[in-house]
Amino acid sequence: MRLLGLDVGDRTIGVALSDETATIATGLTTLRRVGPRRDLKMVADLARERDAREIVVGLPLGLDGSAGSQAQKVLAFIDALKLVARLPIVPWDERFTTVAAQQALIEGDVSRKGRRAVVDKVAAILILQNYLDYRKTAEAEGRGAIV
């Protein structure tokens, strides 16, 4: 079962995809946001094209776990996406993912311009991989995937 992972920003949406076994996340693309309806359609089309059965969306919570203005925007995006994609959608705490993505790219000696081009996709990979790892651990402990 494939899963799609999203890092939703104001200007772009980073997209990652899992393998068939839902074990490894890889970067797929970065979508340039063009408007609410078209953004939702692009994501839903990608999910269909890639045969994704679930979508994991990074939720940018505050350090204290609160949902600030950016998290509210993402929650509204999730609500709208549910209607268009007609797939289970899991909000996933993405605190520090963009920072971790930036750091990984810096350590990989990627130029500033190069980092800007791929940071959202790398953040989507981290969001999805964290969720996949959580699911595997939960299943191994007999808890099932709790979200």
DSSP element (H, E) containing 43 = helix 36-49
Please report whether residue 146 resides in a domain. Answer: no
For residue 38, the domain's CATH number is 3.30.420.140
Q: pLDDT 10s per residue in the chain (147 long)?
A: 999 999 999 999 999 999 999 999 999 999 999 999 999 999 999 999 999 999 999 999 887 888 889 999 999 999 999 999 999 999 999 876 766 666 766 776 666 666 566 778 988 999 999 999 999 998 888 765 555
Q: Is 64 helix (H, G, I), strand (E, B) or coil?
A: coil
Please report whether residue 10 resides in a domain. Answer: yes
Whole-model pTM: value is 0.85
Please report whether residue 147 resides in a domain. Answer: no
Contact 81, 46 (CB under 8 A): no
